[in-house]
Structure 1
Amino acid sequence: MTDTNFTFRVDEDLKAEFTRAAKANDRPASILLRDFMRDYVNRNREASEYDAWVDAELEQRLREADDPATKWIPHEQVMDEMEALLKERIARAAKRAG
């Protein structure tokens, strides 16, 4: 990988504070700036990859929802089944607790 210069303007006080903080932590300012840039790029890449994954999952779910073979379960039925399951688990836990 070829190195290149990156020049930008920054407030003089901010530059002085940053330089002091870098020296106080025995870190060259240039290395810290490269680390910040690398971290930013990685976070952005991860966010983009996550967004792409979410989009793909959503598209798949929409295709499934549009599929005539998809079996739909009424909300009330799901809630009734979950309530029964919870009651069963609570009863088993109470029985174990004695």
Structure 2
Amino acid sequence: MAKQAVFTMKLESELRDEFMAEAEAAHRPASQVLRELMREFIKRQQESREYDEFLSRKVEIARASVQAGRGRSNEEVEEEAMLRRAELLREADEAGQ
């Protein structure tokens, strides 16, 4: 990859020295390590943003469903779960005997 730009940043001398030492210990140029860290950061940020957008769409769909009367109350969901748990426990007890 051809050099496209120079990136200058300020940081503590100790942090720079430790980073350079670790890059050298890993037998890798510090610039390569920084590029990889930057790419990883960009990827994490993009994935986070994509997930937030996905979650926002899911919430909007759920809200629209509730507003249209297709949703269930928390009490209904809890009651159904309680009945299902009781049924599963009963089946487990019968299978164990």
TM score, norm. by length of structure 2: 0.81
* Cα 1:62/1:72, change in 2 over 3 Å: closer
* SS of the residue 1:65 aligns to: helix
User: Is 1:84 aligned with 2:67?
Assistant: no
Q: Distance in 1 between matches of 2:93 and 2:7?
A: 66
2:20, 2:30 within 8 Å by CA — same for their partners in 1? Answer: yes
The unaligned stretches of length 5 or more in structure 2 are none
Q: Distance in 2 between matches of 1:4 and 1:36?
A: 17
The unaligned stretches of length 5 or more in structure 1 are none
1:5 corresponds to: 6
Q: For residue 84 of structure 1, report the CA deviation from its aligned partner.
A: 2.4
* SS of the residue 2:11 aligns to: coil
Q: Distance in 2 between matches of 1:95 and 1:50?
A: 43
Q: What code does the residue aligned with 1:37 have?
A: M
- More displaced 10-residue stretch of structure 1: 28-37 or 83-92: 83-92
TM score, norm. by length of structure 1: 0.81
User: Is 1:20 aligned with 2:28?
Assistant: no
CA RMSD of aligned residues (A): 2.0
1:29 corresponds to: 30
2:66, 2:72 within 8 Å by CA — same for their partners in 1? Answer: no
